[in-house]
Amino acid sequence: MNVTPQKKAHLSTGPILQQTPFWGDLKEYEGREVRAYHMSLPSERCLSPPERGWDGQSTVSDDILVVLQPLGPDCQMAYVPYGPTLEPRAEWQGPVLEELSEGLRPHLPRECLFIRFDLPWRSPWADDPDRYDGKAGWSGPPRVEIQEIRMNFDTRNGNLYKAPTNALPTNTVFINLKQDEEQLLKRMKPKTRYNIRLSRRKGVRVTEVDASRLTDWLQLCRETARRNHIIHQERRYFEALLAARDKHSNDRTSLHLLMAEADGAPLAGMFLSISETQACYLYGASSSCQRNKMAAYALQWQAIRRAKTVGCRYYDMFGVAPSAAASHPMYGLYRFKTGFGGFLYHRQGCWDYPLQQDLYQIYHAQALNEEGYHRR
């Protein structure tokens, strides 16, 4: 495998937002160091020729965005958000990650303890009938030890570890936009279709708003955080998000702040990202008032229609519970998002490749203890 540094601005813009120049600029606005690389590997190792980087010959190529994240004094990790986007065949996944890691090693700072790949690749257990039950659905991947045996098969060093935690969502719902609007509505659950129409009858209107409405958006975020007992991003993060958007207003990555309102009151909002052929429900929030107007349904439907209009092939709902288990803390999101008729997609999550084995083992043990992580 060949790995070479390149300028962040020269990264290819593909369907995964977190591997674009836009995302790199966002991370730099947050104060992180960002690096970009180009990789190439034999085409027979890949699932299929990718939409970009295909030379029709014996190799395929892709770009990789790496974010350097501090872990403490004089140590950091190299984080690859939803990358690499190029997906190898199942039997090549471990060896490709190993070769890529060793290719990146000489280009990373000496204080870098490990590389963390937040893999967008589909879980190899997503099609395993033994991982499904008759009620809730998918039970998730097997114990970490089994996952690591599979990932390290045919690698030279057996040096890939399942990370203690995942950063970006591993389970999501994708909506296929290669259908007309009538077909999209038919694939939805009856209650979802009803709520979309109900919101229209109750006077909910969805429009794109500019940065002057950021205060309204943050108020919705605060209400959502209080209601669901979660922590929301602060104003400076969304200011950085909008700054990155403004810098990339002329390329194939765009960001839109949509607001659903009725009688002049903001009831729900979302950040919709569009990267080449894929749209994503990146952030969402809603008011605790007038919830009977079903503004969140109107908001999603408008976002889906907008994504389809600009030529997107898929709409990523960006994060749900892995199954219909009512005990899961994201079960409410599961019910809401699956109502729009998409299909569940299970990613592999975060995997670590140590560059300094002894220090990584210390970090890993501490992380397991701090997160209360249970290996299953």
Question: In Å, how far from its chain's centre is CA 61?
Answer: 21
CATH number belonging to the domain at 179-312, selected among 2.60.120.380, 3.40.50.180, 3.40.630.30, 3.30.70.580: 3.40.630.30
Looking at residue 49, its pLDDT comes to 54
Looking at residue 142, its pLDDT comes to 95
Q: What angle do CA 269, 270, 275 make, to 5 degrees?
A: 160
* Tokens 């203690």 belong to residue: 164
Return the CATH number of the domain spanning residue range 2-169+347-371. Answer: 3.40.630.30
Looking at residue 52, its pLDDT comes to 45
List pLDDT tens digits, range 17-48.
999 999 999 999 999 999 999 999 888 888 86
- What is the rounded distance in angstroms from the CA atom of residue 63 to the CA atom of residue 55? 14
- What is the rounded distance in angstroms from the CA atom of residue 219 to the CA atom of residue 18? 26
pLDDT at 54 over 50: no
List pLDDT tens digits, range 127-140.
899 999 877 689 99
* Greater model confidence, 370 or 10: 10
Cα–Cα nearest to 273, from 251, 250, 253: 253
CATH 3.40.630.30 location in the chain: 2-169+347-371, 179-312
What is the pLDDT confidence band of residue 376, given thresholds at 50, 70 and 90? very low
List pLDDT tens digits, range 235-282.
999 999 999 999 887 778 999 999 999 999 999 999 999 999 999 999
Interior/surface letters 220-259, b for 16+ CB within 10 angstroms, e for the rest? bbebbeeeeeeebeeeeebebbbebbeebeeeebbbbbbb
Q: Rounded mean pLDDT of 174-200?
A: 97
